[in-house]
């Protein structure tokens, strides 16, 4: 019984950690998509944020500055996506894919340049753990919890949030009411970049203390799946993220207990995602104008 309780707590604690980048990434994606811009670049933005966080931590010796660096990097790169999607009306899925490719190469390129390695950076100052005894997590974890109600408030209670929702569902209507559609979308995309960067910082400075090439390994796409399963709503996003984190934590634990090869258990989160998506769609409705560039002349 005691071992069960211990493993149970262990799983919950792991889940709390694992959900962090998923929740934060998905919330970021929510801002972008609610305003009408598809953002599949969460993966690349996370990776960039993870890298820059390590760089800044390396240079300043301070992990908090590192996190800020990660956020800034994510915001800056997302601006490129915003530019291509909004100003130049390029296909948003393709732009997102390009950002992912760019980020993967760019981070390794810079890693060689700055750290003279190509696999893993030297360790840097990481984030502290706050809490009591075993229940301690780094600040970003707590932040992920906080961001859920904050996001909810922004989207559903503030003027900016109302504008985002209007622009994502019916940009022409918003335009006729004097709302600057493009400006709202730029801001929303950059918020998603900031949050993705934050999620990335968690991975490099919170979970570990280095950056490795491709360290996000699909978590950005998992965040996207969480966004869809969470029906673009902060609370459901958090629940979905937590459930996936539980599945993942569970998978890691049983791999040691039961004799299933770890490659098979590693598949579990992805398969579970597919199953949930299959059962769910038909009731999951994206913002109506998502993915379509806004053309003023169209009515």
Partner 1 sequence: MGKALEMKGITKGFPGVIANDDVWLEAEKGQILAIVGENGAGKSTLMSILYGHYQPDQGEIFINGKKELIDSPKRAIELGIGMVFQHFMLVPTLSVYENIILGLEPVRGLAIDRQEAIEKCDEVVKQYGLDIDVTQKVGELPLGIQQRVEIIKALYRKAEILILDEPTAVLTPKETQELFTTMKELTNQGKTIIFITHKLDEVMAVSDRITVLRKGKTVGTVKKTETSKEELAQIMVGRKVVLRVDKKDKDPGETVVVVKQLCVEGKRRSGELKNLSFEIRRGEILGIAGIEGNGQTELLEVLTGLKKPKSGSVEVCGSTVSGKTPREIRERKIIHIPEDRHKRGLILNFTVQENLIAGIHYKKRFATRHGFLKDAAVSSNADELIQRFDIRGGGKQVSAGSLSGGNQQKIIIAREFNQEHEFLIASQPTRGVDVGAIEFIHQKILESRENGKAVLLISADLNEVMSLSDRIAVLFEGEFAGVIEAKDATEMKLGLMMSGVGGSLEGEGGGRNVTDS
Partner 2 sequence: MSQIAKKFEGVLTAATSVMMALLIGSIVLLVSGINPIAAYKALMFGAFGNLRNLFDTLGRATPIIFTGLAIGFAFRGGMFNIGAEGQLAAGALCAAIVGYALKVPMIIHLPVSIMAGMAGGMAWAAIPAVLRAKKGVHEVISTIMMNYVAIHLGGFMIEKLRTNEMPQTPDVLPTARLLKVSEISQAIKNTNLNLGFVIAVVCAVVLFIVINKTVFGYELRAMGFSPLAAEDAGISINKKIITVMLLSGMLAGLAGTERVLGVHRTYLSGISTNYGFEGIAVALLAKNNPVGIIFSAILFGALSSGGQYMSFETNASVDIVGIIQGLIILFAAISQAGEFMNFKRLFQSGKTTLPKAGEENVKGGK
Contacts with partner 1 by CB under 8 A lie at: 153, 157-159, 162-163, 165-166, 169-170, 172-179, 288, 296, 299
258 binds, among partner 1, partner 2, none (CB under 5 to 8 A by kind): none
DSSP notation for 26-86: HHHHHHHHHTT----THHHHHHHHHHHHHHHHHHHS-HHHHHHHHHHHHHHHHHHHHIIII
- d(CA 93, CA 81) in angstroms, rounded, equals 10
Nearest to 106 by CA among 29, 38, 50: 50
Q: Does 235 bind partner 2 (CB under 8 A)?
A: no
- d(CA 45, CA 70) in angstroms, rounded, equals 9
Decide whether 39 or 138 has the Cβ nearer to partner 2. 39
Number of residues that bind partner 2 (CB under 8 A): 48
Decide whether 87 or 157 has the Cβ nearer to partner 1. 157
CB of 196 to partner 1, least distance (A): 24
Residues 6+ apart with CB under 8 A from 33: 39, 168, 227, 232, 286, 287, 290
CB of 34 to partner 1, least distance (A): 11
Span between the terminal Cα atoms of the chain, in Å? 65
Q: Does 282 bind partner 2 (CB under 8 A)?
A: yes
- Taken in order 119, 121, 123, 128, the sign of the CA dihedral is negative
Site for partner 2 in 240-269 (CB under 8 A): 261, 263-264, 266-267
- d(CA 36, CA 289) in angstroms, rounded, equals 5
Element (H, E) at 132: strand 130-132
179 binds, among partner 2, partner 1, none (CB under 5 to 8 A by kind): partner 1
Decide whether 120 or 162 has the Cβ nearer to partner 1. 162
DSSP3 helix / strand / coil % (the chain, rounded to 5): 75, 5, 25
- d(CA 241, CA 234) in angstroms, rounded, equals 10
Site for partner 2 in 159-218 (CB under 8 A): 218
Q: Does 97 bind partner 2 (CB under 8 A)?
A: yes
283 binds, among partner 2, partner 1, none (CB under 5 to 8 A by kind): none
Q: Given candidates 108, 141, 198, 289, which one binds partner 2 under the rule CB under 8 A? A: 108
Q: Given candidates 8, 109, 135, 156, which one binds partner 2 under the rule CB under 8 A? A: 109
CB of 277 to partner 2, least distance (A): 5
Q: Which residues are at the interface with partner 2 (CB under 8 A)?
A: 40, 80, 84, 87-91, 93-95, 97-106, 108-109, 112-113, 118, 218, 221, 224-225, 228, 261, 263-264, 266-267, 270-271, 273-274, 277-278, 281-282, 293, 297-299
């Amino acid at each position: 019984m005691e071992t069960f309780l211990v493993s149970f707590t262990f799983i919950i604690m792991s889940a709390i950690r694992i959900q962090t980048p998923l929740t934060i990434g998905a919330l970021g994606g929510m801002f972008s998509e609610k305003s009408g811009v598809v953002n599949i670049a969460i993966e690349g933005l996370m990776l960039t944020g993870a890298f820059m966080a390590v760089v800044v931590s390396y240079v300043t010796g301070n992990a908090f500055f590192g996190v800020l660096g990660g956020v800034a990097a994510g915001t800056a790169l997302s601006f490129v996506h915003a530019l291509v999607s909004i100003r130049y009306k390029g296909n948003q899925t393709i732009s997102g894919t390009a950002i992912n490719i760019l980020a993967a190469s760019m981070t390794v390129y810079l890693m060689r340049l700055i750290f003279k390695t190509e696999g893993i950076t030297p360790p840097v100052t990481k984030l502290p753990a706050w809490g009591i005894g075993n229940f301690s997590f780094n600040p970003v974890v707590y932040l992920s919890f906080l961001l859920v109600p904050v996001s909810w408030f922004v989207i559903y209670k503030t003027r900016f949030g109302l504008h985002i929702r209007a622009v994502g569902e019916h940009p022409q209507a918003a335009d006729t009411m004097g709302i600057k559609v493009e400006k709202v979308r730029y801001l929303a995309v950059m918020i998603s970049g900031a949050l993705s960067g934050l999620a990335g910082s968690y991975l490099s400075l919170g979970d570990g203390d280095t950056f490795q090439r491709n360290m996000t390994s699909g978590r950005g796409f998992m965040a996207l799946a969480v966004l869809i399963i969470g029906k673009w709503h902060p609370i459901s996003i958090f629940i979905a993220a937590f459930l996936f984190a539980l599945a993942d934590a569970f998978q890691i634990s049983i791999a040691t207990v039961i004799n299933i090869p770890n490659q098979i258990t590693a598949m579990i989160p992805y398969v579970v995602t597919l199953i949930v998506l299959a059962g769910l769609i038909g009731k999951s409705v994206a913002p109506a104008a998502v993915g379509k560039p806004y053309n003023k002349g169209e009515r």
